[in-house]
């Protein structure tokens, strides 16, 4: 299959995916990180993929000792995932009650070398929400 045919097949799959037909999640274990990768890519431990999205998963412990999971998300044709898809990815891979955030970093920390979209899944809820929660 030519690269043009591969791109057309990927776009066709994405169109089906945008209608909700993502297929099942498949796992690829990456115990040594992404082959040939450097920086945070060496810390990726597995990838989840379906017919539309690939999610690279990098668990780590932050400076306060909290467990966090960094997810780098992309599609074959570099489609920007809509918010509802990011929510669905979070729900399906980490649970409906998990809290995740996307970050707009300081310009000095910006890395914009690939059409990847990042989400951090937290081990706890944020101290703020759209809903009022009383202190326990």
Tens-digit pLDDT profile for the chain (136 aa)?
Answer: 677 777 777 677 666 666 778 899 999 999 999 988 888 889 999 999 998 899 999 999 988 898 999 999 998 777 888 899 999 999 999 999 999 999 888 898 887 777 789 999 998 888 777 777 666 5
Structural domain boundaries enclosing 113: 3-122
Rounded Cα gap, residues 68 and 115, in angstroms: 22
Q: What is the DSSP letter of 107?
A: G
Number of neighbouring beta carbons within 10 Å of residue 88: 15
Query: Do the domain assignments include residue 134?
Result: no
Number of domains observed in the structure of the chain: 1
Q: Assess if residue 135 is contained within a domain.
A: no
Q: Supply 59's token pair.
A: 């668990």
> Which sign does the torsion angle of CA 37, 5, 83, 26 carry?
negative
Q: Is residue 129 part of a domain?
A: no
Give the whole-angstrom CA distance, residue 95 versus residue 65. 21
Element of type H or E holding 120: strand 117-122
Contact by Cβ (8 Å): 52, 18: yes
Residue 131 lies in a domain: no
Note whether residue 130 is domain-resident: no
The reply to whether 127 falls in a domain is: no
């Amino acid at each position: 299959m030519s690269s043009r045919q591969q791109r057309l097949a990927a776009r066709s799959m994405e169109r089906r995916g945008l209608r909700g037909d993502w297929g099942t999640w498949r796992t690829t274990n990456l115990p040594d990180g992404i082959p040939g990768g450097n920086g945070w890519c060496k810390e990726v431990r597995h990838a989840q993929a379906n017919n539309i999205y690939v999610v690279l998963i990098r668990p780590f412990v932050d400076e306060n000792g909290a467990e966090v999971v960094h997810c780098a998300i992309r599609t074959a044709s570099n489609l920007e995932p809509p918010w509802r898809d990011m929510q669905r990815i979070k729900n399906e891979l980490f649970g409906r009650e998990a809290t995740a955030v996307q970050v707009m970093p300081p310009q000095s920390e910006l890395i914009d070398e690939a059409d990847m979209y990042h989400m951090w899944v937290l081990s706890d809820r944020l101290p703020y929400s759209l809903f009022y929660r009383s202190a326990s």
